[in-house]
Amino acid sequence: MIQNNEKKVLIKGRNLKRYYYRAAETVKALDGIDIDVFAGESLCILGASGSGKTTLINLLSALDAPTEGELFIDGKNVIGLSENQLVDIRRGVIGYVFQKFHLIPTLSVAENVALPLMFLGMPYSDRDIDVILDSVGLLDRRTHKPSELSGGQMQRVAVARALAVKPKVLIADEPTGNLDKQTGDDVFALFLDLVKQQNIGFILTTHNLELAERCDRVIVLEDGKIIS
């Protein structure tokens, strides 16, 4: 069992609420979530479709802002911040992997990995990119376009892109959802290895119980609330 009180808290959320307003109706996507994310820990958010998993990790990755509650990312309070200020929070702290990979189709594998570094203005060399690509086993695909890769390879590129800025927290939204079982298992093993090697926090959403069992901690969402 992980002793959480010995680990550094990277993300801390209290009473997080995210409401959507449609005409007279209020949709409570998240309704009072308390959550902590620790360095070197893998946290699985389990739940059925529509339970609020993606909404929660959008808040935890500063891609969206809560309607109510307290949220600290890397020690900074993100409540009330503008989009520009949220960008500053995201940069260098959060690495995000999407279910549908979302690589830029006009760029090569190496350029996709280098993209966050360009936006952050971080100096990098081809060698730096090669090291990252090597860590996900795609060094020989560095000049390929995303359309020339398989689903598993594209997800590995997405992982490499997320890791390029050396984030403190890696967030993955159903990262194996678009992959076959074997490829999904391989990609997930890669995630866990990298998390341990780099001592970063790892949050993933899934409705795959097998994957959830391999994580350090699991929370289950239902109707926007943690039920276990």
The contact set with another protein (CB under 8 A) reads 58, 61, 63-64, 83-84, 87, 90-92, 96, 98, 100, 102, 104-107, 111, 114-116, 118-120, 161-162, 165
**Whole-number minimum distance, CB 29 to another protein, in Å?**
11
Q: Which is nearer to another protein, 39 or 63 (CB)?
A: 63
Strands annotated E in the chain: 9-22, 25-38, 42-47, 68-73, 76-77, 94-97, 169-173, 201-206, 217-222, 225-226
**Whole-number minimum distance, CB 83 to another protein, in Å?**
7
Which runs of consecutive H residues, i.e. helices, occur in 8-165? 53-60, 83-90, 109-120, 126-135, 151-163
What is the separation of C-alpha 84 from the centre of its chain, rounded to a whole number of angstroms? 20
**Whole-number minimum distance, CB 147 to another protein, in Å?**
11
Crossing angle of helices 109-120/126-135, nearest 10°? 120
**Whole-number minimum distance, CB 140 to another protein, in Å?**
20
Q: Which is nearer to another protein, 114 or 212 (CB)?
A: 114
Q: Which is nearer to another protein, 160 or 226 (CB)?
A: 160
3-state DSSP assignment of residue 76:
strand
Q: Which two tokens stand for residue 54?
A: 């993606």
Q: Which is nearer to another protein, 176 or 212 (CB)?
A: 176
